[in-house]
Amino acid sequence: MSTLKLAVIVGSARRESINRRLAQALIGLAGTRAAADIIRIDDLPLFNQDLEAERPAAVERFAQAMRSADAVLIVTPEHNRSIPALLKNAIDWGSRPKAHSVWAGKVVAITGASPGAIGTALAQQHLRQILGTLGSVVPGGESYISFKPDLIDANDHINDEGSRVRLQAFVDGFLDLAERLHPASA
Ligand code: FNR
């Protein structure tokens, strides 16, 4: 038996990203059920089909990290009511070549935080649609985080109990599904 290998993607490269803080808190909630790595996407070149003949090293590293993961967690901001270009760029690179897409058949949980009231709901709807097209298995549970400055402390602990309970259920549901689809890692 081995631990579930979890690739975590944060849709923001901002130094003080609230989504990176949320991702780290969620990794904490996964505990020993998952070996999680945040996979960087900010070094990927802007997608251009001309680059596909000789794929840049950063793209190969990204694709390899994604292929070797049992499951993926995407934690993303909302930009102009959709997903950030940074994240779309990574998704597009991962989708190519189509026969070797890193997204097909992969369990991909999605969540995100914004200071606004709807907590990335519209970005997540777009992301769900994109991943569905690519053949990913996106768990049903929805998780929209309206971020307040004191929600997560310096030790990645979620201070608000209601939020912590909801996010623990979100993480548990996602890992239950990923383990069912990857019994060797349960
Ligand atoms: C935003 N922000 C934002 N927030 C939101 O709730 N809905 C939106 O559509 C947008 N649109 C948007 C566009 C652009 C270009 C920027 C830079 C920002 C605000 C956003 O939620 C806020 O900057 C978060 O802090 C971004 O998350 P990170 O980068 O801190 O993880």
Q: Which two tokens stand for residue 52?
A: 């596909």
Task: Report the amino acid identity of residue 148.
Answer: K
Q: Mind listing the pLDDT tens digit for each residue in 96-116? A: 999 999 999 999 999 999 999
Q: Is the pLDDT of residue 141 over 70?
A: yes
Ligand 1 atom with least separation from CA of 117: 6
pTM over 0.95: yes
CA 124 to centroid of ligand 1, rounded, Å: 13
Alpha helices in 33-120 (DSSP H): 57-67, 85-94
Alpha-carbon gap, residue 168 to 44, rounded angstroms: 31
Mutate to test the pocket of ligand 1, among 79, 82, 145, 151 (most ligand atoms within 8 A of CB): 79
Q: pLDDT class for 185, splitting at 50, 70, 90? A: low
Q: What is the per-residue pLDDT across 39-61, written as a single tens digit (0 to 9) for each?
A: 999 999 999 999 999 999 999 99
Atom of ligand 1 nearest to the CA of 20: 31
Q: What is the per-residue burial (b if ≥16 Cβ within 10 Å, else e) of 64-80?
A: ebbeebbbbbbbbbbbe
CA–CA distance, 91 with 87 (Å, rounded to integer): 6
pLDDT in tens, 12-41: 999 999 999 999 999 999 999 999 999 999
Q: Probe ligand 1: pick from 16, 17, 26, 114, max atoms within 8 Å of CB?
A: 114
